Structures are given as C-alpha cells and as structure tokens.
Amino acid sequence: FGLKAQAHARPSRHPRSAPPKNKHPGNMGKAGQARQVFRTYGKTKSASKVKSTEKKKPGAQKLKKGVEPGSILILLAGRFRGRRVVFLKQLESGLMLVTGPYAVNGVPFRRVNQRMCIATSTKVDVKGADDKAVTDAYFAREKKAAKKDEMFAAGAEKKALSSEKKAGQKKLDEGIVKAMKADEKAYLKARFSLSSKMYPHELKF
C-alpha cells in the first residue's frame, strides 16, 4: 500500500529551492555573526611623513569701518559696559587701547576687543595724547607662586595701582581733556542704555 501511494504521488508544482550555500564559510563566527578582522597599518607600507612647517602668526585684526584715533566707542561688556570711551590706537595683539578719560567719566585706559564695542560717528582731538609707552606688555600681570597660607586666607586684599601707572594715566588723559569741549565731556559722561521702543538697528550712532 505504501509503494502504491508513493507511485501515484504527484510532483509539487513549486519545488522547494535549496538553501544558498555560503561562499565564504570562514567569515561566519559564533551565532551567525560576521567575523571581525582587525588590520594594522604602517607595518608593511612606509607611512608618509608630514613635513613640519612653522606656524604662521595671525596678523592683527582689521579695524571696523570709520574707527580711527579719536573715535568715541560704546562698551558692550565688562565692568564699564554702557560707558563711552575714546579710542587711541590698536595694539600688536589686535586689541584696542581706549580711555575714558578717567578724569571725565572714571574709565581708565584699558584694552578692548572691537567686537565688544559700538563705533560712533563722534570724534575728539587726541593729538596731545602720548600713548607710545603703552603696549601689551604694560597690561601683563606678575605671576607669583601661591602659598598655602594665602590660598586659605579669608579675604584677599586687592592691590592698588602703582604710582607709575597713576602718573601714566594722568599724563595720557591730560592732553585729551584740555582739547575737549564742554558738550563732548557731557557726552562721554552719559551712560548708553536702551529704553522702550528703541531698536538698535534703527539707531544712528
């Protein structure tokens, strides 16, 4: 009976295809995952050596349009933000040397990044200012090794300005203040601020 049933069995119209054979049986690891192959570079082939070139120092940043010695700027950041100052010159580092003057609005001469200020169209005469001795090295701080007693001190005393710097500030501002008019001094004393319905992009400085 079993042979007779086997003889009359019809062949299936859709024969099952055999599973594909793995062409690279060695690439399969455990649990059917691909085997990882780690390669090392630089042993057989000679690695190309990069020529050592001297790094070029970036040049001084160009000043904004309309900024020249004597231009009045408005500071946007820092301790004296909102104050108006007089631009003197650009230092080698690219920073701008500005002064209040100190006798007018209490702003000492300092270095300012031109990104943190607004240039105005107002200008004053700075021909009498002697700023040749003021460089980046003038603002360098003295490095001292911290002692254990000083580190755990309750309050640190702030160092006062040296007599040389005070004399230099007075000498620098003396020539500028003498050439100023009363309205220019009043303009420098006034602090810049925005009130309601005042839009910076619509203002003309």
> How many CB atoms neighbour CB 104 within 10 A?
21
Long-range contacts of 155-159 (CB under 8 A, 24+ apart): none
- CA–CA gap between residue 146 and residue 97 (Å, rounded): 31
Supply the DSSP symbol for 183: H
Residue-level pLDDT, tens digit, the chain, 205 residues: 445 555 555 655 655 666 666 555 555 555 556 666 677 666 555 555 555 555 566 666 788 888 999 999 999 998 999 999 999 999 988 899 999 899 899 999 899 999 999 999 999 998 888 888 888 888 887 666 555 455 445 444 555 567 777 888 888 888 888 889 999 999 999 998 888 888 877 887 7
**In degrees rounded to 5, what are phi and psi of residue 89?**
-165, 170
Could you identify the residue written with the tokens 């995952």? 33
| 105 within 8 A of 189, measured Cβ to Cβ | yes
Q: Give the SS3 label for residue 133.
A: coil
- CA–CA gap between residue 127 and residue 133 (Å, rounded): 15
The model scores a pTM over 0.75: no
Its sign, for the CA torsion 177, 183, 186, 192, is negative
What is the structure's pLDDT at 12? 59
